[in-house]
Amino acid sequence: MINYYFKILNMKKIKYTPIPVFMLVMLMAFTGCKKDEVKKQEDANPYYPRIFDNLKVFGSNQIINEGTSASFSGVLFTPAGKVKISWQVNGKEMSADPAFKFTPTAGGEYTIKLVATYNGDSTSRQTKVLVNPSTYTFKPYTKVVLANLTEDGTAADVVWSNITHLEYQVGKVAADGTLDVSKGNVNQHVNEIVARAHIAGIPVIMGISGHLSGIDGWAIYESNDFGTAIRNPTSMKLLIDSVKAYVARKKLDGVDIYMTDINSGNAPDNIHAIGPFLTALKAALPAAALVTVTAPVNYQHWEYPDLSKADWVNIHAFEDNIHIGPDAPVGQSSSYDFMVSGAQIWTAFHLPASKLVVGIPAFGLRYNSLNAAGNNESWGSYDYMTYKAIIAADPANAGKEKADIAKGVYYNGVPLVTQKANYINANGFKGAYLWAADYDATGSSSLLTVLHQALK
């Protein structure tokens, strides 16, 4: 029998071991059969291409500034090395490499799609990249239609075509002058709001405030956080430096001084401090930045200093405070007459109408318990309800001022807001603001739609 010898390493010696010819033939035949079997199985059960996104690059949308990049790497494919790869931007193929870096040259929202193809079958992954433009032009307007977005609001709450300006209540002021902007960092809310606003030609104003009372977004009894911060030169400087840095970092277009510390023994001093703070803040921000102030229309208007250096003043011309508290008569707390009288107080004693933006509420006063006389029962027997919740309860409520919810909800519906908007337009006011955009309804029931149509 003929034998073939193969070298086998055995410790330090080379040992020659004979392998019979028939065994070698069997080994070669087995190997050939295995290859044939693999091919048969592949032909009968073809691989379906798969994409493994281990780094979760498609897990959420990305928000970047123009000039920076969105990277897509760490993606794996099967069958490895055999799939055709296609990276597409808004339907146009940009790369066939395993990884992709998208560097936009203009602002906008882009769809990034990855397609993997093998043997005629394809699978894909898709995500969005929102790009904040480096340059933008604000759309022209006749009257200001300002949407005020609370700290819990998002870009999804805004119909950009209905507004000329957006105020986002993203800065909480502490008594020591520190600034809490954490709400805006959740899920990149502030980045998305600014990017979408700038794409739409809308300036974004940073609202800075102390603690607010809730849905109505107004004063809390004996709250002095903001007032304390701006009365002290050291804490005021710290606050201004923080605001300036945040405005620059997030590409914001201005600041609203939403100081509501007017319900305490320190209220006069808090209000008087707005003057120096306004002057210092304007000096610190870029010359083109908007700086506004929000103020009430009650008796405390006498305490306000000269605010003519502000681009405009938002007047809180709703909530008369007559219809709350024990035994208070139920009724409309944000009436047309109250708005008109409040607006006239400011034009008579402070600023021309062209410097005033008049407030409109997107919430209602709800009574939950009444006393034997049919009046509000106590301090704890009323609360507030957002306008969108009122409309959700019954769409017909859009055409009313009172809804039969609990013991009654009084609010501003479409007819009343139309009447108010017509007054604002006819009397030369700079515009109107809505508190708040995230409380508004949609479609024909939207109060911002009413304001936009009346004031455009």
Q: Could you tell me the residue ranges of all domains in the chain? A: 50-132, 144-455
Output the pLDDT for position 47: 80
| Residue 165 predicted with pLDDT over 90 | yes
User: Where do runs of H (alpha helix) occur along 374-439?
Assistant: 387-393, 414-426
Output the pLDDT for position 36: 61
Strands annotated E in 133-183: 144-149, 165-173, 179-180
Query: Which CATH number applies to 50-132?
Result: 2.60.40.10
Answer yes or no: are the C-beta atoms of 143 and 430 closer than 8 Å: yes
Q: Is the peptide bond before 79 cis (omega within 30 degrees of 0)?
A: yes
- Identify the residue whose tokens are 């739409």: 200
> Could you report the per-residue pLDDT of 105-142, keeping only the tens digit for each?
999 999 999 999 999 999 999 999 999 999 999 999 99
Answer yes or no: are the C-beta atoms of 149 and 155 closer than 8 Å: no
Output the pLDDT for position 88: 98
Instruction: Please report how many Cα atoms fall inside a 13 Å half-sphere around the Cα of residue 128, on the Cβ side.
Output: 8
For 276-297, what is the mean pLDDT? Answer: 98
- Output 13 or 441, whichever has higher pLDDT: 441
With both helix axes pointing from N to C terminus, report the angle between 233-250 and 189-199 in degrees, rounded to the nearest 10: 60
Answer yes or no: are the C-beta atoms of 270 and 262 closer than 8 Å: yes
Same fold, 50-132 and 144-455: no
Among candidates 444, 337, 428, 442, which has minimal Cα distance to 144?
Answer: 428
Output the pLDDT for position 40: 55
Beta bridge pairs of residue 124:
115
Q: Domain 144-455 maps to which CATH number in 3.20.20.80, 3.10.20.600, 3.20.20.140, 3.30.70.1730?
A: 3.20.20.80
Answer yes or no: are the C-beta atoms of 430 and 353 closer than 8 Å: yes
259, two tokens:
């100081």
Among candidates 407, 412, 307, which has minimal Cα distance to 349?
Answer: 307
| Residue 289 predicted with pLDDT over 50 | yes
* pLDDT bucket at 20, cuts 50 / 70 / 90: low
Answer yes or no: are the C-beta atoms of 315 and 297 closer than 8 Å: yes
250 Cβ contact list (under 8 Å, min separation 6): 184, 190, 191, 194, 206
* pLDDT bucket at 456, cuts 50 / 70 / 90: confident
Query: What is the length of the chain?
Result: 456
Answer yes or no: are the C-beta atoms of 173 and 209 closer than 8 Å: yes
The CA distance from 131 to 103, in Å, is 10
